[in-house]
Structure 1
């Protein structure tokens, strides 16, 4: 009815006006108090030199020379560096544990249940402190552990051989991605093939395409090996104890929730689907991969999105173990400049952008999955 429609619009306009009034009042009061204390406002401080020491960075950075803006960007990259691999590893580990909870082997199912119940009931911050303590108790560099040649594990972190990037590696990486996509397409088409050779051949593009690109471009392969000089290692690739502790804690903690999501999704599929797969001559693993899991994904994806968001937000606990992520660097910057509102606003904006990006990607995938399984 027209009257109800105008009434609804009126209430929405009133609510919008109330929100605008609250924002205006807050802005006015904040501006007056900042001016009274002679505190500058705005984001001009991002151009100033930042005397923040940053021990782990994907970009070049020099304290007291590089700007606060560059330091904030490094913090964002450090957050993504732990969040993206964390989501992938937590998904893989949680899926395996969730499947193990439904295993017909009682010992395996009980061990998986023990893992889930133990890690879900312990605070994440406590787990991060525990893993940080574990990595700090490793021997010094001179007595470092050497599980494999060229790999050193000590209280300074994990040192690995590093491949020096060459100009042709970008094309090889693109060829590897193309091979992975092509292999996934071929694997779907040959999944029900009775010939094992055809199912195996579907995955050949993964090594063949990058090998072909490498044979054509022939870039130089240079490996930088770590070596002990004095009291520390030089060369190679370093995984710091702070990063290792944060990544380990986030992955193990989130995987316990992912496992329950996967278990619930698999249990929602009728038992007759397993029996149908067995009647077709499929093994239990093949029935899970081809019949049960695709149906369970409709219930798994929405709560899985929440766990990805939680992992990204939980990465802000890195400040407790000394890993310099966005929160740590921004907090140091706002303490040095006194511009707390702008600093907190930047943190909120970055986390909001990352969360909205994850939600959008997962919702698009969920919508596509719903159309495909309708």
Structure 2
């Protein structure tokens, strides 16, 4: 049966066309939305208010003898930073001091996200294993941690860290020493230096990604790559520096200060409870028929969880876990309460010594914005991969 085609009217001719075919003005009107003059007037009022606010702030700073701007970043800082990955002294610039704060924030946020993800996933899975005692213990942990403030938990952990015994009476085992001077852990050491093994490992990873993307080689690529990387570091003389008591103190290459250790533990414990609930909800969202079908195929409970349940639950887990990682990164700013020199602490000291409080707040907000956007971009990329894999199985 042939259906006669009707000629499109003048109002229908532009539907479904790209903005370039409709013209610049109609596309701009469609992007701007209804009542463009009202919205334009509102935007102008907001901009005028911000301009007046800026003028008042500039006048107040001028009366106080403070010139607004970021020229202070090149001046020498007049304070020390107690914990720094890169060398820093009081004669270095404020810009370098802020860089130290950013690195310290990244240290605790990155490690905290990884450890919280592992601990939260383990707790979420263990809480659904069917053991009544284990399930109750996980529920008690989750409810206790989620319903107490992070700042209170942070004070608890820093008090515990500072009241640990001295080096001679320290609690130790497996190469880990817990003392009131810090937590000493085994550190990897490469006799030939870290540079060429890291560069070679990066080349191996790039080669694997190229094989998977362009050659379609997927099976067994990552195990082979990990074996090659391990061989590279072994060839370079990889060893571990084990802390030991020498004289009146424990000696070791890698020591975590009490402030860093307390902040890291507080963040991991707090946000692992949230991730455990997310993992539990994601697992329960998978239909029971998936488990029954897997059992009929002879899979064990561990294989069912690893191969059937968790891959499907990731569609629910990953987006919510992204929010948890963002909260963890932002809440690392509570380090200022216990004296850990993160970005907020360094910028607070910068504002007090220079008087550039507004500039310090702007740098702080911009830095945390960039960090969170980076975390969100990585997690969204992984979320898209999970979604694409899920669609490919249908």
Aligned residues: 357
| Per-residue deviation, residues 228-258 of structure 1 (Å, max 9, x unmatched) | 6776555522111111100001000000000
Kept in 2, the 8 Å contact 1:157–1:240? The answer is yes
Aligned to 1:259: 276
Aligned to 1:40: 67
Greater mean alpha carbon deviation, residues 1-10 or residues 350-359: 1-10
SS at match of 1:146: strand
Cα distance in structure 2, aligned partners of 1:161 and 1:371: 40
Aligned to 2:128: 102
Counterpart check, 1:328 vs 2:345: yes
How far the C-alpha of 1:204 sits from its partner, in A, is: 4.9
Kept in 2, the 8 Å contact 1:175–1:209? The answer is no
How far the C-alpha of 1:142 sits from its partner, in A, is: 3.7
Greater mean alpha carbon deviation, residues 89-98 or residues 165-174: 165-174
Aligned to 2:94: 68
Aligned to 1:193: none
TM-score, reference length from structure 1: 0.86
SS at match of 1:115: helix
How far the C-alpha of 1:84 sits from its partner, in A, is: 0.4
| Per-residue deviation, residues 33-76 of structure 1 (Å, max 9, x unmatched) | 1111111211111111112221111100112x111111100000
Which consecutive residues of structure 1, in runs of 5 or more, have no partner in the other structure? 191-200
SS at match of 1:103: coil
Cα distance in structure 1, aligned partners of 2:294 and 2:367: 46
Greater mean alpha carbon deviation, residues 222-231 or residues 88-97: 222-231
Q: In angstroms, what is the RMSD of aligned CA positions?
A: 2.9
Aligned to 1:196: none
How far the C-alpha of 1:301 sits from its partner, in A, is: 1.4
Structure 1 residue corresponding to 2:319, chosen from 293, 302, 314: 302
Kept in 1, the 8 Å contact 2:146–2:273? The answer is yes
Taking structure 1 as reference, are residues 266 and 169 closer, same or farther at Cα in structure 2, changes over 3 Å only?
Answer: same
SS at match of 1:247: helix
Kept in 2, the 8 Å contact 1:179–1:209? The answer is no
Aligned to 1:213: 232
Cα distance in structure 2, aligned partners of 1:202 and 1:112: 37
| Per-residue deviation, residues 201-232 of structure 1 (Å, max 9, x unmatched) | 887536531343246xx435576665667765
Aligned to 1:364: 381
| Per-residue deviation, residues 300-336 of structure 1 (Å, max 9, x unmatched) | 1111111001001110111111111000110011011
Aligned to 1:31: 58
Q: Which is higher, the Rg of structure 1 or of structure 2?
A: 2
Greater mean alpha carbon deviation, residues 138-147 or residues 241-250: 138-147
How far the C-alpha of 1:372 sits from its partner, in A, is: 2.3
TM-score, reference length from structure 2: 0.82
Cα distance in structure 1, aligned partners of 2:177 and 2:382: 41
SS at match of 2:293: helix
Which consecutive residues of structure 2, in runs of 5 or more, have no partner in the other structure? 1-10, 12-25
